[in-house]
């Protein structure tokens, strides 16, 4: 232990000596009542006070006091409230568009709200809050203010299942509006595709797709989307068209059911072909 102390003293003797001399000097200075010493003490005390205030201010910036926690808590509540108001704004805009669409449509509509979304890579289904008590029947088309969404597939007293366009089991007879060419629209797990359109038809990017006069599942001329991409097969004889739907199906919340009951016999045949 003595060796250790001697070693410490030997290494830091200059610093220890400085500290001892400083303490002695400050003690003598504090007891000195001469005017010069008093001025020196006042100057030192003032500078020490300023330095201490600055240090305390810096420390207080990082100090975790209760007021800061309260502000964080209030900010969190405001963030949630702002997000809720954004959601209400978006829903209000959607409902306003739906009302306008309903007023200008020739079809009888039943408004519905999505209460659950059952979505996988190839099977997109919604559960809505309308059923047989609202005169909803299997096979009725479902739309929103932008265009076609899907088809009623199952009905209970108070709820129904909507098979959306993003479901590989649903195929839709369509027409390319500009050139009056018919085809079949289906979902491949990633995109809506119209297969085997002859390249002799002048299909253009942006062409509008709508339901066909030949479909018994849907009324004619319901807008579906636009051609966003076209690809030719190896021989260059046929096109596969990718369609961007008008209805943002994944973001939908409110829908309309078109109260039209198609021909049950033809409807059943088409549904059997889809399975």
> Domain-by-domain residue ranges, the chain?
172-252
pLDDT in tens, 126-162: 999 999 999 999 999 999 888 899 999 999 999 999 9
- Binned at pLDDT 50, 70 and 90, residue 250 comes out as confident
* Fold designation for 172-252: Thrombin, subunit H (2.40.10)
Phi, psi of 38 (to 5 degrees): -65, -40
Q: What is the pLDDT of residue 265?
A: 43
Neighbours of 95 (CB within 10 A): 15
pLDDT in tens, 223-240: 999 999 999 876 778 989
pLDDT in tens, 62-110: 555 556 656 766 766 676 677 677 767 766 766 676 666 555 556 788 8
pLDDT in tens, 156-191: 999 999 999 999 999 999 999 999 999 999 999 899
| Residue 197 clears pLDDT 80, i.e. is over it | yes
């Amino acid at each position: 232990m003595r060796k250790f102390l001697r070693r410490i003293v030997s290494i830091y003797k200059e610093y220890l000596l400085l500290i001892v001399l400083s303490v002695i000097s400050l003690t003598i200075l504090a007891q000195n009542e001469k005017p010069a010493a008093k001025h020196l003490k006042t100057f030192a005390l003032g500078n020490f006070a300023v330095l201490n205030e600055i240090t305390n201010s810096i420390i207080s910036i990082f100090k975790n006091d209760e007021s800061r926690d309260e502000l964080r808590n209030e900010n969190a509540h405001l963030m949630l409230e702002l997000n809720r108001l954004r959601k209400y704004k978006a829903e209000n805009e959607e409902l306003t568009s739906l009302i306008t669409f309903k007023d200008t449509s020739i079809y009888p509509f039943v408004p519905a709200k999505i209460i659950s979304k059952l979505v996988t890579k190839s099977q997109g289904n919604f559960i809505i809050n309308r059923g047989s008590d609202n005169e909803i029947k299997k096979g009725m088309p479902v739309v929103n203010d932008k265009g076609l969404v899907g088809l009623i597939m199952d009905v209970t007293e108070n709820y129904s299942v909507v098979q959306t366009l993003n479901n590989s089991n649903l195929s839709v007879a369509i027409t390319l509006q500009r050139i009056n060419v018919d085809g079949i629209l289906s979902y491949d797990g990633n995109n809506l595709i119209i297969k085997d359109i002859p390249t002799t038809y002048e299909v253009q990017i942006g062409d509008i797709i709508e339901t066909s006069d030949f479909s018994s599942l849907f009324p004619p001329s319901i807008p579906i989307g636009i051609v966003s991409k076209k690809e030719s097969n190896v021989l260059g004889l046929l096109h596969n068209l990718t369609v961007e739907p008008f209805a943002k199906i994944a973001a939908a919340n409110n829908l309309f059911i078109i109260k039209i009951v198609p021909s049950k016999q033809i409807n059943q045949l088409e549904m059997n072909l889809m399975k």
